[in-house]
A = this chain, B = another copy of it.
């Protein structure tokens, strides 16, 4: 039975804040799919989000960065607090209780916890998915094919996606989800996936280029069996300046 060791995690004796955890929705984009990183608990077929408790000597944001670093190998990731899940009985549905009993010792664990939800946007190609001490497997799942998860994690993912769609109006999130160099059709497909609707390519290009934060590179991407698209990258300085002034609307 696992979570007792959360009380003293290996390799770090810093005590933990009790009854407070965080959950991370780590999102990547690959093959025109929005994907989320999930963990499979040891010796079970049960999946859940990465997450865990917060140490007394780290900020909540730092705890989220740490969990992300441990599961993906990446530092300095885009992270966004989006909601606090503070219901008293977050996992009281009978079918969840059944599953939890198989994994956890209720004595040790059935204490209420408040969880802070973060979503992270990462470059899929740079992630090295790594399970933790309690899980056998760490894997990407297409956001449309997520299985029934432990705890209230299916709900948490839905709330995160809604927050992400909202954020898309204020901030070009492709910056975080795509590799440094990408094509406009790739960026458009990312937007279409998140918003779950088709966009007109002419209008899309006009709008995105109009933000003035993309730089067209003097090369094209070869290798597709078709006309080769231009490569672009974000102009970091202009992107950040635009963010500060709140000029990067989309809708």
Determine the distance from Cα of A63 to Cα of B88 in the docked complex, in whole angstroms.
Answer: 11
Copies per complex?
2
Determine the residue in chain B with the shortest Cβ distance to A85: B60
Q: How many residues of A contact B (CB 8 A)?
A: 21
One of A1-9, A41-49, A51-59, A226-234 contacting the partner = A51-59
Pairwise interchain contact B116-A58, C-beta atoms closer than 8 A: no
> Which residues from chain B contact A63 at a C-beta distance below 8 Å?
86
One of A15-23, A133-141, A199-207, A208-216 contacting the partner = A15-23
| Binary contact readout A82-114 vs B (1 if CB under 8 angstroms, 0 otherwise) | 011011100000000000000000000000101
Determine the residue in chain B with the shortest Cβ distance to A90: B59
Pairwise interchain contact B114-A17, C-beta atoms closer than 8 A: yes
Pairwise interchain contact A84-B116, C-beta atoms closer than 8 A: yes
If A19-B17, A112-B56 touch, whether A81 touches B83 (CB-CB below 8 Å) is yes
A65 CB to nearest chain B CB (Å): 12
Q: Is A61 an interface residue (CB 8 A)?
A: yes
> Which residues from chain B contact A20 at a C-beta distance below 8 Å?
17, 19-20, 114
Determine the distance from Cα of A54 to Cα of B88 in the docked complex, in whole angstroms.
Answer: 11
Determine the residue in chain B with the shortest Cβ distance to A60: B86
If A60-B114, A114-B60 touch, whether A86 touches B54 (CB-CB below 8 Å) is yes
Pairwise interchain contact A59-B88, C-beta atoms closer than 8 A: yes
In the A-B complex, the 8 residue pairs with the smallest Cβ-Cβ separation, listed nearest first, are A60-B86, A59-B87, A59-B86, A17-B19, A59-B88, A84-B116, A20-B20, A81-B84
5 A–B contact pairs at CB < 8 A? A17-B20, A20-B20, A57-B88, A60-B87, A61-B87
Chain A interface residues (CB < 8 Å from chain B): 17-20, 54, 56-61, 63, 81, 83-84, 86-88, 112, 114, 116
